[in-house]
Amino acid sequence: MISLVQLFIAPAYIAPNNLIMDPVSKDYSLKPYNSFHIEANARYYADFSTVDELAELYNRFPQNRKLILGGGTNLLFTKDFDGLVLKNEIKGMELVSEDSQYVYVRAGGGENWHGLVLYSLQRNWQGLENLSLIPGSVGAAPIQNIGAYGVELKDFLYELEAFDTEENKTFEFSVNDCELSYRDSVFKNRYRNRFVILNVTFRLNKIPKFHASYDLLAEELNSMGVEELSAKKISLAVIHIRTSRLPDPAIIGNAGSFFKNPVLSILEYKNLKKINPLAPGFPQTEGFVKLPAAWLIEQCGWKGYRLGDAGCHVNQPLVLVNYGKASGREIFELSEKILASVKAAFGIVLEREVNII
């Protein structure tokens, strides 16, 4: 009989070299990894859960194009990817420090975004509730500076760590270093395709400072009969709004808002109002006005439009959808037609929020 001590100290089995699994797959289907459910293949595919694994994969394929995948919720494949697709699987959420006013919470770049929101709500840490149910990963959130219902990521981001694929080093970025603005960051511009976000640290409130004045959110809270605000109640209201107005990517392929809301100068907005008195607008800082792209698209008759399996959602024209077997090219061509019609009707050039691959 083998003793428990002997079992414990027995050497680990080492597979022969010819049985060691290669972490890189070839001609790999990306359909399960994009929220549009588009049929597309990667020439090479692998995932990574540590920075060492990431660095090793970059060093192994120095000449190949690279694409980092998080939740796959902000991209549209129009063709196969002739390069290396790497999925961020760095996990973990933890409280790293706190003071009398704030908690500092770090989450791995591969964590699900809504999972982090729930993690903070369970511990009564306030700040992320307005961003409930936004699809995607923690690592992708700063790149896009995600936002909803009067709150943006930059309001609570403290710092992040990112791997520099050119220098093969890890760097820290403060919130100011990230240069966050409306659906934009330094990672979408100057450092595009250079850094991979490993983890993000958020500064959340111990003493709540709720943001519930956004019209749609205020209406939902009122219909719920909420008299005393809490982070959990705001989160529930946001979840109800999103589930009632937006299609579930698990059922109907989509990537959420396909276009950014254009920001006009006050003069441009006044000129638009002369021709379109009902044009809605939301004042921004420094004399600008944000115009809902959904309104522009609906005015051009696209709401509910469908050709084959590519369409514009019946409840939210800002969302383009794949009803089943649409190709990425068909959805892209629909977006081109929408852009052209809005420009022709209003002289406004919309910008895509979704990354086109």
pLDDT in tens, 110-151: 999 999 999 999 999 999 999 999 999 999 999 999 999 999
Single out the catalytic residue among 132, 257, 327, 335: 257
Residue 135: phi and psi, rounded to 5, are -70, 150
Task: Say yes or no to pLDDT of 11 above 50.
Answer: no
Q: 3-class SS at 242?
A: helix
pLDDT tens digits for 147-177?
999 999 999 999 999 999 999 999 999 999 9
Residue with the two structure tokens 């959904």: 294
d(CA 274, CA 110): 48
Burial of 322-336, coded b for 16+ CB within 10 Å and e otherwise, reads beeebbbebbbebbe
Look up 353 and say whether it is catalytic.
Answer: yes
pLDDT tens digits, residue range 287-328? 899 999 999 999 999 999 999 999 999 999 999 999 999 999
Comparing 284 with 101, which gets the higher pLDDT?
Answer: 101
65 is catalytic: no
Tokens describing residue 17:
């070299």
Domains in the chain: ranges and CATH = 14-88 (3.30.43.10), 93-242 (3.30.465.10), 248-356 (3.90.78.10)
Catalytic-labelled residue, pool 106, 183, 203, 242: 183
> Edge-to-edge strand order for the sheet containing 306-307?
253-257, 319-322, 310-312, 306-307
**26-61: burial string, b at 16+ Cβ within 10 Å, e else:** eebebeebbbbbbebbbbbbbbbeebebbbebbeeb
Catalytic residue status for 257: yes
